[in-house]
Amino acid sequence: MIRFKSIGYWTEAEGVESDVVISSRVRVARNLANFVFPHRASEAQLMEVCDFISKALRKNDELKDLDLILLEELLPQERDMLVEKHLISPVFDEGEKGRAVILSEKRSNLCVMINEEDHLRIHAFSLGFQLKNAWKIANEADDILSSHLPYAFSKRWGYLTECPTNIGTAMRASIMMHLPALTINDEIELLFSNLSDSGITIRGLFGEGTDIAGNFYQISNQVTLGKSESEIISNLETVSKSIIKKERSARQLLLKEEKIKLLDEISRSWGILTHAKLISFEEAIDYLSMLRLGIDLKILPHLSRKKMTKLMMSIRSAHLRDLVGEDFNEDSEAEDKVRAELIKRELFKLREGGGINV
């Protein structure tokens, strides 16, 4: 069984434009010809798809590093870990029979969901602002799989997908961003409104249908039909560069015109996080977001942004359970206590004797 600790590193490291951009992702949806779409398929038909893909993986040497694992064979803790690492969607985690995931230790920035909304959903990730690199990874994997699997494709409509909004390239590209200053300055809603007119949509930390947490936002394309993959990437890159610029300007404006309030918010966040006995993920991620902003503005020069981002991602439920080696048995107080202790310990380790630079 693959150990998931070595997979999903994009949430625990840094890349290009890392003060604003956490990671880049490209997802392509593919379906198999002559197989029923997942939402209309029976459990037996879903298993038939899994078996068909599994045999293709075993027969071909260039696919031998890819492991297909049935979702029902994974422990709930393992599935939760995959969700928190953004390898599978929360909706996919709710299903079991006839669903599988393809992972690889060799290709740690690649994941394929089998029988989510489509037969295959190929996800590729890159650190920071590297959409083209994520697309390269996804495209290479797609080319390999397409040479061994019969895709459902129309010369008129492109790749056929369960949801009509995905046909065409069937590609969704996204950038995960940390936008605390635009949120604090109440500019985020206007930004979202303007983006929707450009064919761009905004999602929460864990994707579609999830809430915003810790000022993390996923910016992604809406249109897949009538545009090439390179056009989609280029448009999202242009929009993302504009958002990065706006966020950095908003941060400098805060520092110039609201410095005392900003210092107060950062100081309060530090105080709560280093003294709390119990703290939920939702509360902790918001306070840690303020500390990360303090690091980026040189207000907390003794803290590491890379380690702070890793801490923000490690306080989620499954990660905590993995860390302490025990299940909280739905005891939210026990989980909140462990989270508070972890944050306090890590923040004092990160500080290394420094403080807030006023």
**pLDDT for 209:** 52
pLDDT per position as a tens digit, 202-230: 877 655 555 678 899 999 998 888 889 99
Q: In this structure, are 175 and 270 located in the same domain?
A: no
**pLDDT for 6:** 54
Phi, psi of 219 (to 5 degrees): -100, 125
Q: In this structure, are 178 and 34 located in the same domain?
A: yes
Q: What contacts 88, CB < 8 A, 6 or more positions away?
A: 79, 82, 101, 111, 113, 116
Q: In this structure, are 197 and 276 located in the same domain?
A: no
Q: In this structure, are 345 and 269 located in the same domain?
A: yes
Q: In this structure, are 93 and 10 located in the same domain?
A: yes
Q: In this structure, are 34 and 148 located in the same domain?
A: yes
| CA nearest to 258, candidates 290, 305, 286 | 290
**pLDDT for 2:** 45
Q: Is residue 356 in some structural domain?
A: no
**pLDDT for 12:** 57
- Beta-sheet pairing, 171-178 with 21-30: antiparallel
DSSP class of 303 = S
CATH number of the CATH domain containing 139: 3.30.590.10
pTM (2 d.p.): 0.88
* Boundary-marking domain end, from 229, 249, 269: 249
DSSP class of 35 = S
Contact call for residues 104 and 141 (beta carbons, < 8 A): no
Contact call for residues 26 and 134 (beta carbons, < 8 A): yes
pLDDT per position as a tens digit, 263-281: 999 999 999 999 999 999 9
| CA nearest to 313, candidates 111, 127, 130, 94 | 127
Measured distance CA(205)–CA(22) in Å, rounded: 11
Using alpha carbons only, what angle is made at residue 164 by residues 158 and 166, rounded to the nearest 5 degrees? 60
* Boundary-marking domain end, from 184, 215, 249: 249
Distance of CA 203 to the CA centre of its chain: 10
Q: In this structure, are 199 and 91 located in the same domain?
A: yes
Taking 70 as the pLDDT cut, the residues of the chain under it are: 1-13, 96, 205-211, 352-358
Secondary structure class of 10 (helix, strand, coil):
helix
Exposure string over 323-340, b if 16+ CB within 10 A, otherwise e: eeeeebeeeeebbbbbbb
Q: In this structure, are 235 and 109 located in the same domain?
A: yes
Rg (the chain; Cα; Å): 21
Q: In this structure, are 170 and 210 located in the same domain?
A: yes
Domain of residue 208, residue span: 4-249
Q: In this structure, are 332 and 233 located in the same domain?
A: no
Q: In this structure, are 272 and 326 located in the same domain?
A: yes
